[in-house]
Structure 1
Amino acid sequence: MGHLISIETLNLNNNRFVGELPSRLKNCEQLILVDVGENKLSGLIPVWLGENLLNLVIIILRSNQFYRSIPPQLCHLKQLQILDLSMNNISGTIPKCLNNWTTLAQKGHSSPSITHINSFQLGESSFYGLPYDDEATLTWKGVRSKYQSTLGLVKSIDLSSNMLSGEIPTEITYLVGLVSLNLSRNRLTGQIPSRIGNLQELDSLDLSGNQINGRIPINISRIYRIGYLDLSQNNLSGKIPIGNQLQTFDSAYGGNPQLCGEPLPRTCSEEEKGLGQSVLVNEDDKDGLITQGFYISMGLGFAVGFWGVCGTLLLNMSCRYTYFNFLTFLNDWLYVKAEIIRQRILNK
């Protein structure tokens, strides 16, 4: 198979293949799609996927027995659009370099489908056959569906049902073209990235079945298009943000005993309502949020500075006299300087 250097699509899903992916596949540098999902393949995820097959757009290794960590070499795949590593034995952390995936970091799509044209050469003549569209079966909003005519519109990362640990890297929030993100049923800890609201193209977000803690970022309400949300079975706490469809996802928050507010039956205490409340600002801000304390401090600083100067001038006659004398002297000095410069220019 390594001699098929012009092959663009490798679809071997739903078979009974065992062993490792053959290393000779690294010679097939024109590959755009690799789908070996639902087999019994094992071993490490090959580093040559990211080192040699730089044209890859779709990688599907779902439902196999791959183990160890996600190789950082996959971050070299700038055209990557769909990555499905779900239902394996992958451990370690999610690579922080994933913001190098240029296509996922851009909104919009080049075309609805991923089309190829059959061609072969006979002697000095080239012959072209009928075009064909790639297809792939993906899990979308918890349902397995086949995509072909709209495959080019899908931008998805599915790392669910593995043994990934550590925090969700903030770099994932740079992938603003993502339409589906599934990190469920892992061992992820830490908090939901504060800039999660940057992913405004998301239609499906599933972070369920982890050990994520802290509050739900208020800017998650910026994701206006979201149609499926599941944050259940974590250690989230505090008040559920209000906005858009967040109160319509009845089963999205279960298994978080410290969460409160609609749509959950548990009402929030005054402390839970006020703790960590924040005001949204420009998303270019460092963490996307500024607390109310920031504005209170700014107001107090202005008041103290203003009355520290003006109050002194109003109440102390000698300071007021000295201050206005200085302004008069400064005005005269600037006037004389301006006249000298003007005369020099006229004399030239």
Structure 2
Amino acid sequence: MSKKIMSSCFMKLFYALVLLLSNAAGPVLSAEIKCIESERQALLNFKQSLLHDYGMLSTWRDGDNNTDCCKWRGIQCHDETGHIQLLDLHGDRYADAQYLEGSINLTSLIDLHNIQHLDLSNNFFLGSHIPEELIGSFTNLTYLNLSYSRFEGSIPCELGKLTHLQYLDLRNNYLYGELPFQLGNLTHLQYLDLSSNDLNGEIPYQVGNISQLRYLDLSGNSFSGALPFQVGNLPFLHTLGLAENFDVKSKDAEWFSNLYSLTILRLDSFRNLGSSHHWLQIINKLFRNLRELRLVDCSLSDTDLQSLFYSGSNFSSSLAILDLSYNMLTSSSFQLLLNISLNLQELYLSHNNIVFSSSFFPSFPSLVILDLSYNNMTSSVFQGGFYFGSKLQNLYLLNCSLMDRSFLMSSASIMNYSSSLVSLYLSSNLLKSSTIFYWLFNSTSNLRSLYLYYNMLEGPIPDGFGKMMNSLEVLDLHDNKLQGKIPSFFGNMSRLQILDLSNNKLNGEISSFIENSSWELIVSEICS
């Protein structure tokens, strides 16, 4: 065998051995990867700037074999490099009561150059600003959520450098000033929510450059001027939320019609909506494809509603959610609402001027949620055997001046949908008789949430109530005039999680049947 052949065979064997060893060592080497020390210190410095973390960052500490920050809560590192890619510290100020609090030092995170996902939503960062130098250095970010965390100040123009960003949520903060035109550089952005801040000035036309945008919500701000026609260049936009009075002209109806993917339109506090022929024309053109339409606090009257949906050819078969809360509608609008869509699943009519009568109320066979709160129900709406629909799950009748007679005579009507009813809100009415408890467990056996607070209910809670209503998860009876002994059956309601008996005239021991229970109990001032 020649030396050349022997050399060739040797080299092949050598490379095969190297490849074999590298493959075998690969998983071991990856398993040894730990977080970068500079990034670990950045996290500890961030924690140090907080006033409270309420247990959220209990794993963020030195010692006790806990130095690998890739194993800390809310952290995800790259499998090979160890660099932090994800930081998810979203809080929950209500259910879990876990959130971050303090005027935080966000610049302490500046060493996290490789981060792609940052979520600091639902925390309490009162007085904190969004630092320009920090945002400008996070050029790999694809997801940024700072919503509901009480950030202050302006939106830094450096956001325009995050050209990989696909999701940006800054809603419900205290941000002010004009919207930076550099947002137009975010050509990969699909979700943009700036709602419920105090932003002002005109909407920059560069927003129309974000061609991949699917979701845009600018409501709850103080923008002025016209909505730029370049917004019509967003072919994938399916959700648009606006508020206050953007100027529109007849030509705007044309570019609005280019939003052929739009299925959700929300217009809040457009006080001149009814008098604006151009807005009515725009909505009417879009209406055929809409699945959700919210016209809240727009001073709409029955006549305006009629003008809005004047053309029968544009009535929608796709509309599933309609919110007309906080307007000036009366009973005359009901028949028109029925004609709008037979497929309505959610209908919100709270805070209007509706005086209910069964002769005015149409049937909505697909309805799942119905909110009639803050209207007048002292008439005979429940006595005509009218039919909400067999699919109704959530019924809101708060503050409707509902009295015992008009409600209890409605048993035959409400029995029509009682098998599907899951949540019933009857709070802040004029209900007095505890007979309502008997009615409830004879007609709504699948109920999970029952709210009867702020009524005038008198007498005892009947013993059979707990046995028949054992599906209840929430029972709120606070601020009534209920009397007698606290029923022991509460201890047998295995699904009950929240029980509020406060501010009644009940008496007796409650501790004997709630021992070892996971309920959230509110029983203060239950005795007279």
Q: Could you tell me the TM-score, scaled by structure 1's length?
A: 0.50
**More strand by proportion, 1 or 2?**
1
The answer to which structure, 1 or 2, has the higher relative contact order (CA under 8 A, 6+ apart) is 1
Q: Could you tell me the TM-score, scaled by structure 2's length?
A: 0.34
